Amino acid sequence: MLILSRKQNEGIIINDDIVINILEVSGDKVRIGIEAPEKYIILRKELAEDVKISNKDANNATPELIGKLQSLLNK
């Protein structure tokens, strides 16, 4: 892990095509802007973790639960 200190209006460049800009520092919050090609998906870490957990839970669905869902969808 690379750890950097940045001030407002400073930035970081990753791989020549991703730019992270520090827009504002206020108390314990930092607003950042990310410029990246559309091919990259950018998510907040906590959202990505929630999606991962939801996908795992969906993968563990029982045949009974799947049957109930199919009957609901067929209505």
pLDDT score recorded for residue 56: 78
Tokens of 33: 């802007």
Domain that holds residue 33: 1-38
pLDDT score recorded for residue 31: 97
47 and 22 in one domain? no
30 and 56 in one domain? no
pLDDT digits (tens, 9 = 90+) for 15-57: 999 999 999 999 999 999 999 999 999 999 998 888 888 877 7
Give the confidence band of 73 by pLDDT, cuts at 50, 70, 90: confident
25 and 47 in one domain? no
Q: Is 30 helix (H, G, I), strand (E, B) or coil?
A: strand
pTM over 0.75: no
Phi and psi at 2, nearest 5°, equal -95, 130
49 and 70 in one domain? yes
* Of residues 24, 20, 29, the one with CA closest to residue 7: 24
48 and 32 in one domain? no
67 and 34 in one domain? no
pLDDT score recorded for residue 34: 97
Mean pLDDT of 46-75: 82
